[in-house]
Structure 1
Amino acid sequence: MSNTSASTDWQQWQTSWDRQQEWYMPDREERFRVMTDAVEAVAGRAPVVLDLACGTGSITDRVLRRFPDARTVCVDIDPALLTIARGHFAGDARVAFVEADLTAPDWTSRLPHRSFDAVVTATALHWLDTEPLRRLYGTLAGLLREGGVFLNADHMYDESAPRLNAAMDALLTARREERRREGALDWADWWSRVADDPALAEAAARRFALLGDPREPRPAGARTDRPTATAWHLDTLRAQGFSEARQLWCSASDALVAAMR
């Protein structure tokens, strides 16, 4: 458990997470707008939403601001990010929290609902290798009601245009470096501040033991089997039980894909 005797400004932590993520993805708010547009289009203004790998609850925050009658279930494995989310939404009966590993075969048994109008996730599932992600897509198809929608905003590319991708990546990198010189926090810096907050230190230590220490550089030569092609995601969603899937939005670094049950 986190240090409940210590106090912290949970709104400030939510805001600092947003600013750190925007350093990597300057179009982040635009993709959230398109995501919530899709939720409204398919599920109306009072949806039951599963916020998958929710982190600090960034999507839930935007869903509830736009749809005050919505209900969300926030699921994550990271105890530090969940501590921030729980603090940020403390006392809000519209939000439930579940700590679970999405690669565990029984993780859905912890959910308070058996069916959802929408499942949403952002900048999270790229941590999963190909086969666990394929299995998860099949599981999500079973969690959505008929006609429900799954929305995944993540690092995905149209690999048919490598030169254009490289040019856009170079521009994004240059702009990111400029913002870094102006004082923007990166991933490692942000986690260093988390570890230094007495209200989060214990949860951060558990996170580092469970998922690794983000303050340390990734080992040179580390290899992963993680799909990055938008086409792979669309094809896999269809193969795993969704009736249709398409890209709704993209930027230089990310894409938002939608799939309907």
Structure 2
Amino acid sequence: MTPYIGDIDAWQESWDRQQEAYLPDREHRFAAMLDAVDAIRDTGPLRLLDLAGGTGTISLRALRRFPDAELTLVDLDPALLALATAALRDRATIVTADLGRPDWHHALPHRRYDAVLTATALHWLPADRLATLYGELCDLLRPGGLLVNADYMPDDALPELTKRLLARSRERREARYAAGAALSWSQWWEQAEQDETLRPLVRQRHGIYPTGHSPEWNPPVSWHLDALAKAGFAEAGTLWRGGPDAAVVGLR
């Protein structure tokens, strides 16, 4: 059953503003991801997997661009999944699964996808698990299908510039918080816990992630490209870059 969460558009906007405080060029990476999907599409509806899809950010944008796409969204967070379910209604299959487990894909409705898209989510997986997951995702793609992962992936050759870019980004983010232009990550979750429907789901989330789920492990883009090649992708490269962030792509 789709949960009643008041004005779901307002919650989606609130999430977007909170995320954009960290990622001001967030929409650019989404556009680049969907451009890549458009480039590999065949005739007939696209079958897309929104991995660690959270509130449905990628799925909503994908459906605006590809209205007949078959969407599957996977996540573990009960609060974010409730928001995704309310926003997407019956336009996507919502799956609860733990990407840290090797059997996570058993819950998927399909065995083959045209594309797997994910953004600012897989950094919480340890290195060995992410490398293995890349192989599992390669197996889920049809020949010619692609995986795009957008996240904090610094350029190995620009360590000093990356530090300066991050410092400037921090200054701008703190200024936005001080002016009330956006909620911080912790403030957004505090706000969600005030909602009557989301409150028990946020508390469930605390049980799943008692200490958070983001380790201090953010490898450079070269690590991801090497891992994609070893996972069996025919091509691996950088699709998009914005300062210290990048979107890497693997083509099966």
TM-score (norm 2): 0.94
Query: Contact 2:124–2:215 (CA<8 Å) still a contact in 1?
Result: no
Query: Contact 1:86–1:97 (CA<8 Å) still a contact in 2?
Result: yes
- State the match for 1:22 in structure 2: 20
Q: 1-side partners of 2:131 and 2:164: how far apart? A: 30
Matched, 1:124 2:126: no
Q: Secondary structure at the match of 2:115?
A: strand
Query: Contact 2:125–2:215 (CA<8 Å) still a contact in 1?
Result: no
- State the match for 1:245 in structure 2: 236
CA deviation profile, 1:77-133 (whole Å, cap 9, x unmatched): 10110000001112x3x3101000011121111100000000000000001110110
Evaluate the alpha carbon distance shift between residue 70 and residue 178 of structure 1 in structure 2; reply closer, same or farther with a 3 A threshold: same
Q: Secondary structure at the match of 1:105?
A: coil
- Equivalence map 1:192-231=2 (5 Å): 192-212=190-210, 224=215, 226-231=217-222
What is the aligned counterpart of 1:145 among 142, 164, 174? 142
Q: Secondary structure at the match of 2:80?
A: helix
- Equivalence map 1:35-50=2 (5 Å): 35-44=33-42, 46-50=45-49
CA deviation profile, 1:132-187 (whole Å, cap 9, x unmatched): 10110010000000000000011111122111111211221121122111112110
- State the match for 1:236 in structure 2: 227
- State the match for 2:65 in structure 1: 66
Sequence identity (%): 47
Aligned-partner residue type, residue 203 of structure 1: L
- State the match for 1:75 in structure 2: 74
Q: 1-side partners of 2:106 and 2:166: how far apart? A: 40
Evaluate the alpha carbon distance shift between residue 176 and residue 227 of structure 1 in structure 2; reply closer, same or farther with a 3 A threshold: closer
Matched, 1:9 2:1: no
TM-score (norm 1): 0.91
- Equivalence map 1:45-194=2 (5 Å): 46-90=45-89, 92=90, 94-183=91-180, 184-194=182-192
Q: Give the gaps of 5 or more residues in structure 2.
A: none
Report the Cα offset of residue 7 of structure 1.
4.4
Evaluate the alpha carbon distance shift between residue 233 and residue 46 of structure 1 in structure 2; reply closer, same or farther with a 3 A threshold: same
Matched, 1:260 2:251: yes
Query: Contact 1:194–1:204 (CA<8 Å) still a contact in 2?
Result: yes
Q: 2-side partners of 1:189 and 1:203: how far apart? A: 16
Q: 1-side partners of 2:104 and 2:115: how far apart? A: 18
Aligned-partner residue type, residue 47 of structure 1: L
Q: 2-side partners of 1:206 and 1:247: how far apart? A: 36
Report the Cα offset of residue 18 of structure 1.
0.7
Query: Contact 2:54–2:81 (CA<8 Å) still a contact in 1?
Result: yes
Q: 2-side partners of 1:56 and 1:145: how far apart? A: 26
Aligned-partner residue type, residue 146 of structure 1: P
Q: 2-side partners of 1:10 and 1:224: how far apart? A: 30
Q: 1-side partners of 2:78 and 2:107: how far apart? A: 16
CA deviation profile, 1:206-252 (whole Å, cap 9, x unmatched): 001101366xxx9xxxx946342100000100001111110011112
Q: 1-side partners of 2:127 and 2:211: how far apart? A: 23
CA RMSD of aligned residues (A): 1.9
More displaced stretch, 201-210 vs 247-256: 247-256
CA deviation profile, 1:15-71 (whole Å, cap 9, x unmatched): 111110000000000111111000101125831000000000000010000111111
Q: Secondary structure at the match of 2:247?
A: strand
Aligned residue pairs total 250
